[in-house]
Structure 1
């Protein structure tokens, strides 16, 4: 772009350049507006307003910022100059110490991808300038086009500054959606706190675009702050210059969201679409991973490694190859850490919802049973995509089928007996469990009957057929209120007395008088015998609990 006696605006161009870098490369709205938003950021704007109007016959988009604006000469020398190597002739930072996003001076062509009429009003240093450009007229010209000047150096207030761009003759049939556009724009920028992007559709409530909009519908499960949360060894020199936030979701991310994978940004703007930096796309983890990383150092490289449309990096460049290797290692570590943390979160949630302490449950299962059940539960905890309610039901049902100490039906022993023998039972010391359980039974029998005698004499006296101190059948009646047959009652009384004596004589006394190793090794008194004895003791405890004087 050159000045012509200071009164004309001139765009010098190759028509194919605008066709390829404008109309074809920018065919959808979000990347076009992203270029204009980037211009506002580089102009030190604190706000940029995007107004989408489609209520009338003609659609219209207005992009307005409160940046520093442009003078007439700057419009000529900077804005209308195609392919200007901006960073080589200007400072790398703005007055507000922002790193310049714009690099090649090609972004201004973007609006021709969606609109055929452009009007620009800009104010700076008390001067207002305005001009318009028409795509149909540009196509008729040969290498030079003079935009239509609307205002030149009009006097305005010192408080007025910034640029307003109006796009007309929009090449789009569908209605605008502020929500959809806000979501798309949030994927293209990391938005500073001191830079507001505000979108309004007609007279609807304005939307302020934030970094979280793109993730708002995701249910996050694990998050990492990079590089602080990285716990793997690496020799990559720029490790600490790769900064951002990564997320693993609770459920797989829909491919339609276009946020699966890690997005790379430089100077707050997207430079590489979300991906996994690997030739493989088969990892189960990939469908849960999203987030962003800032790699600002790539803009400081001598070579330009960002493609013109800022959708990808030049992965063949040596520096970018090193970055890729680091990102591959990072993702491998993330997957391992995710599986560990996800398992812990799910296990805790399952335990809380089901009342089953999974680690404790496993610790109380015999080895051969645990080896079979553990892989099933781990699959539910770590990899199941079934609804939570289904997973919880499976764990509950398995726990019912295979409770702690499953071989010995611990859950059916009388609660009073469980309290006495718990430690011995857990340690599989069943002989001591029987011995201590029988002793406690005798003590409870003395307490409830009020008798001072002990051992066999106590049992015979308390459950005497002629003058019993405790009756184990007294409280029971048939459902119709009638008493049981006297013969039945007598059989139970006498049988119960014999069972109690048998417990004392056949189990408690041998264990008391003989060494356990001799009883066990000879087979005279096996561990299974002990377990049968505990079941008998449990029955005696229940009878005692329900007995009456």
Structure 2
């Protein structure tokens, strides 16, 4: 038969395609999964999926299989017959090779229209060697090109046809080309493989069926290292449900109605982020029937937080064997209100609730065990505590370890904070409260930490107050003209008073000879620098140089240029020597600063380059302002606390004592 004589027709209302093709399958994985199912039912052993490198005009997706293919007559009677039910029409629950048939509704073949406007089908029959190529155009089928489609049979465009051919039988199979793609985002091959694998149980049940994406077989991601508990394998003997059998890591059980199911649930170490992995999926005949869910469980169950870590699969073939179809068209939901599905739902609820409780206990045990291992580095510190104190701290850590909402890293942070607080003599009452909590949930922990936040803020506020008092002490030294070693030593002990950011800085003595050499070249020739007090501080890879001009001297343009040259010279030497210091900054302090035209702009440019020049009044005013800002932040954490209010009142009276003149007077 010539191509011209080969005719195919399709007969249905145009809206069928819109509802069953476009509306139901708008994700590439969902659409192509239906075509993979068809390949399974055609007894294919290999399916190859080719994704586009990018989405642009002319991009296409190709799905090829080596299944039985179709004759021209089968293309008409099976493929182009909407709602063709192989099980009902042929009375076949299994394929010729003995596989359970996946397809049932006879509409999955139109899933490609969910992501493409053109579908080309090329098929070679294993039975006759016939080769048929035809095209389905969504615009023609839905009537958008030529009015609304009616029920009159519509001619399908046959692109090519060749009759029976004995030699062509070996080339059997079907190739579907999806063109004029409507998806906006290019599918990622790696993620596509994982998502496709999660829609089938083929990896565990079918050794003679391989699906590849861009040349690589689909498989579940290698996530074994992410899994903490695997059930039923990880059941203790006393925890095993009655009548369960374990085969290859899967549990085999019979429902009260006699139907057999298989299942495997795992708990991950961290909360699951992937939507198609979080929860329990139900499969029938290897194919997804119910997207991940938790058997419609609501709140108020023990260990509920564990749901965020739970993933699992249930194989319930009987769901797809019922006379009435219980699975939604797009294979996402089961009709759980049906009499046949209800026993599975109740089983799932009980099994899930049981495992959530088991997880909570096992998780706590694991955390306590890990805690004991992590406690070993603290042994020296714990040994310095009185025995009863060490016992309290350990009990507090155990209580925190039992809170399932905490990740391991969060637990580590809290454990260190608790031990550090006890050593510092802080929060002992709260730590005692923690140690006496046999069962502590996330809400109770938050309440205790809220109290801890107040206590920590109060402690920090008291620290800020003492810092401000020290700044006042420095002001007194300056008023007494102690601008030599006393001031240098005072700042060396309290570098934070120059700026709160410098609280970690300490005196650096390793560069004293170098500093002296450079300063003689750049500073000592100037009379204003003689008998100066200099101080070099360091923190990590940062070097901070403070230069104090002689008492009574006013800094002018020349002094600023000389100081700039000094810092730049030091930076050059540090760079050449490749020392541990990567940042060199400087601060020059004088009794007064000149204010000629352009001088302020010069100082601004220096500050941006890590060099500053100021007078004593400006230096201390800035330090006070920064510490006061810090106090205000701490106060905002506990404004209702009477102790914090008392500190604020004290600060206010010290800043403006009664009878003191204002700065404007």
For this structure pair, what is the TM-score category when the shorter chain's length is used for normalisation? 0.5 to 0.7
Over the aligned positions, Cα root-mean-square deviation in angstroms equals: 3.3
Note the residue ranges of structure 1 that are not aligned, 5 or more in a row.
201-205, 403-549
Contact 2:85–2:103 under 8 Å retained in 1: no
The Cα offsets for residues 222-265 of structure 1, whole Å up to 9 and x where unpaired, read as 111389887235994268722122111111112x5332111111
For residue 367 of structure 2, the aligned residue among 327, 340, 346 is 346
Tell me the residue number matched to 1:148: 157
Aligned partner of 1:393 in structure 2 is: 416
Distance 1:226 1:73, change over 3 A: farther
Partner of 1:266: 284
Q: How far 1:50 moved relative to its partner?
A: 0.6
Task: Quote how far apart the aligned CAs of 1:378 are.
Answer: 3.4
2:297, 2:387 → 1: CA distance? 44
Matches within 5 A, 1:22-37: 22-37=21-36
Cα 1:308–1:294 shift into 2, 3 Å: same
SS at match of 2:335: coil
Counting only pairs closer than 5 Å after superposition, residues 159-170 of structure 1 correspond to structure 2 as: 159-170=170-181
Measure how far apart 1:221 and its partner are.
0.7
Structure 1 match to 2:138: 135
Q: Within 1, Cα distance between the matches of 2:389 and 2:189? A: 60
| Separation in 2, partners of 1:287, 1:135 | 41
What's 1:457 paired with? none
Match of 2:298 in 1: 280
Query: What secondary structure sits across from 1:10 in the alignment?
Result: strand
Is the Cα contact below 8 Å between 2:124 and 2:168 reproduced in 1? no
Find the counterpart in structure 2 of residue 117 from structure 1.
Answer: 118
Deviation at 1:19, TM superposition (A): 1.2
What does residue 185 of structure 1 align with? 196
Structure 1 pair 276/13, CA: closer, same or farther in 2 (3 Å)?
same
Q: Please state if 1:198 is matched with 2:212.
A: yes
Q: How does 1:176-325 map to 2 (within 5 A)?
A: 176-191=187-202, 192-200=206-214, 206-210=215-219, 212-213=220-221, 216=223, 219-225=226-232, 231-232=240-241, 236-237=255-256, 241-254=260-273, 256-281=274-299, 283-325=304-346
**TM-score in terms of structure 1 length:** 0.63
- Alignment correspondent of 2:102: 101
Tell me how far apart the structure 2 counterparts of residues 131 and 227 of structure 1 sit (CA, whole Å). 53
Alignment of 1:53-72 (within 5 A): 53-54=52-53, 57-72=57-72
TM-score using structure 2 length = 0.53
Q: CA deviation at 1:15?
A: 0.9
- Larger RCO, structure (CA 8 Å, separation 6 or more): 1
C-alpha distance in 2 between matches for 1:372 and 1:173: 56
Q: CA deviation at 1:136?
A: 1.6
Larger Rg: 1
Q: Corresponding residue for 1:157?
A: 168
Deviation string, structure 1 residues 276-309 (Cα, Å, up to 9, x no partner): 1134157211111112111111112222111111
CA contact 1:305–1:314 (8 Å) conserved in 2: yes
Q: Please show how residues 495-534 of structure 1 align to structure 2 within 5 Å.
A: none
Aligned residue in 1 for 2:617: none
Alignment partner of 2:311: what SS? strand
Structure-2 residue corresponding to 1:458: none
SS in 2 for 1:242: strand
